[in-house]
Amino acid sequence: MSESCKIEVIGVSKIFRRDGKNVAALAETNLAVREGRFASIIGPSGCGKSTLFNIIAGLMPPTTGDVTVDGQSIVCRAGTVGYMLQKDLLLPWRTILDNIILGLEIRGEPRAKAVERALPLMEKYGLKGFDSHYPNELSGGMRQRAALLRTLLYDRDIMLLDEPFGALDAQTRLSMQNWLLEIWKDFGKTVLFVTHDIDEAVYLSDDVYVFSARPGRVRAKIAVPIERPRKPEDLTTERFMELKHHLLELLSEERDPAEEIS
């Protein structure tokens, strides 16, 4: 893949052993994302999207293949990318502020400095005044914001976001999407984004990767030709509709007959 790729996934596959049987969760997968791009991954449930993210984040070794950032392998090196897991996963016994600076704290930064960096971000991105609240006092949307800010503050060039808005209702979701685009614009991170929602994938991304059913594999890579900045109205244009149609087709071909039995 091209030289200027920020992150490359090269022939990564993953086979789990369970009850003595081998379960292929991810077939050989190749991805390459250029610096500062926003790439989405969509695919049926269980196709290995989270598994791929876990491998990139260094939480588990791939069965085959390699993951490189700026050309250097980061297999099994936790902490080199920012990773927002599928759940918001705030520590319930910590205030929102303390949750947001968790990454810095782990890295050993002094609290005062961490707070100094966190507060302006919280203010700017809609968490002003919530620093001493506890996660269970916040709505789902606010919690997602906090989790995302934590990932952001962890300050890695690459951010992996695994269905960050999956649990939100439609209206909140839309405002969170705009919020995310704003952040992305401000910080210029390279983002990998998993979602089930085609609208969301198209609205946010430069590229959309469509995965096949388990074991997952890149079935298609589609560039989104809608220029930025994007507005909610773009979701109702002809161009958008076509794209959505195309993606829906790609996906529905993937669905196997036993679709709902998880």
Partner 1 sequence: MDAYNQESYCGAVRPAERESPKKEEDDAARSIETYDGELQDKKRRRRVLAGRILVGIFLFAGWELFTRIGWMDPYYWSSPSEILKTAWVQLTEGTLLRDIVYTSGSTVIGFVTGTLTGALLGLSFWWSKTYAGISEPFLIILNALPKLALGPVLVILFGIGFFSKAVLAFLMTVVTSAISAYGGVKSVDPALETLMVSLGAKRRQVFTKVVVPWSMPWIISSLRINIALALAGSIVGEFISSEQGVGRMIIYAGTILDINLVWVGVFVLSILSMLMYWGVILLEKWLSKRLAIISS
Interface residue with ligand ATP, options 1, 11, 23, 253 (CB under 6 A): 23
Q: How many residues bind its own copies (CB under 8 A)?
A: 30
The Cα-based distances of 210 to 16, 214, 236 in angstroms read: 22, 12, 22
Residue 166 sits in the site that holds its own copies (CB under 8 A): yes
Provide the pairing of β-strand 21-34 with 218-223. unpaired
Candidates 86, 47, 42, 54; CA nearest to 199 is: 42
Report the interhelical angle of 140-153 vs 111-124 (nearest 10°): 130
* The entry of ligand ATP, partner 1, its own copies, none that residue 126 binds, CB within 5 to 8 Å by partner kind: its own copies
Identify which of residues 77 and 255 has a Cβ nearer to partner 1 in the complex. 77
117 touches its own copies by CB under 8 A: no
Instruction: Give the 3-state secondary structure percentages of the chain, helix then strand then coil, rounded to 5.
Output: 35, 25, 40
Q: Which is nearer to Mg ion, 98 or 254 (CB)?
A: 254
Q: Say whether residue 231 binds its own copies (CB under 8 A).
A: no
- Does residue 21 bind ligand ATP (CB under 6 A)? no
CA dist., res. 203 & res. 226, Å (int):
8
Q: Which residue type occupies 219? A: R
| DSSP-derived secondary structure letter, 232 | G
Distance CA 112, CA 96 (A): 15
Residue 214 is a binding residue for ligand ATP (CB under 6 A): yes
71 or 257: CB nearest ligand ATP: 257
By CB under 5 A, name the binding residues for Mg ion: 50, 86
- Exactly one of 142, 149, 204, 222 binds its own copies (CB under 8 A); which one? 142
Report the DSSP pairing between strands 207-211 and 190-194.
Answer: unpaired
| Residue-by-residue DSSP string for 182-193 | HHHHHH--EEEE
Q: If contact means CB under 5 to 8 A according to the sort of partner, which of ligand ATP, Mg ion, partner 1, none does residue 95 touch? A: partner 1
Residue 51 or 99: which CB sits closer to ligand ATP? Answer: 51
Verify binding: residue 220, its own copies, rule CB under 8 A.
Answer: no
CB of 125 to partner 1, least distance (A): 19
* Footprint of its own copies (CB under 8 A): 44-45, 126, 138-142, 166, 169-172, 175, 196-198, 232, 236, 241, 244-245, 248, 251-252, 255, 259-262
